[in-house]
Amino acid sequence: MPSAHYNLDYLQQVFQGNDAMVQRILDSFEEQVPAYFEEMNHRWRSGRWQDIHPLAHKAKSSIGMLGMNGLLDHVLHIEQVSRTSSTPDDIGDRLRQACALLTLALDAMRRDRMSQLAARNASVDGEPSGAASRRAKRRLRRA
């Protein structure tokens, strides 16, 4: 599933073609990482920007595994500033940009996963759905 927003090469290498495991990782990512960002935004809006770094830390390994390098840059910066700075610097802007990149990546992942599922379901007994459909129509005409 090549995409400008994510890259599964690392996962496919680690799991040596075990697509079921890659899909489980993607499911977990879709469930957990948006929740981390939601909580980071909540903490930012509540003025608790120094409490954001644990969530950024949790998110960064998953983001890195999926090759989301632009998003990873923002998350690393957010984690660093939240952990070590006495001022919030540009956390708000970085968080907005990171959320936008996450949304793009999730949309692309979902679209690609749906396309893969549709392609798998499009064949009946190894035939493309068009061929199976034509065969079924011929049977109905004969009946």
Residue by residue, DSSP assigns 4-46 as SS---HHHHHHTTT-HHHHHHHHHHHHHHHHHHHHHHHHHHHT
| Domains and their CATH numbers in the chain | 9-142 (1.20.120)
**pTM, two decimal places:** 0.80
Q: Give the integer Cα–Cα distance in Å for 100 and 116.
A: 24
Tens-digit pLDDT string for the chain (143 aa): 458 899 999 999 999 989 999 999 999 999 999 999 999 999 999 999 999 999 999 999 999 999 999 999 999 999 999 999 888 889 999 999 999 999 999 999 999 999 888 887 876 555 555 555 565 555 555 54
Taking the C-alpha atoms of 38, 42, 43 and 45 in order, what is their torsion angle to the nearest 10 degrees? 130
CA geometry: angle 114, 117, 119, nearest 5 deg: 110
If you search the block for the tokens 């923002």, which residue do you land on?
Answer: 74
Residue 126, classified by CB atoms within 10 Å of its CB into exposed (0-12), middle (13-18) or buried (19+), is: exposed
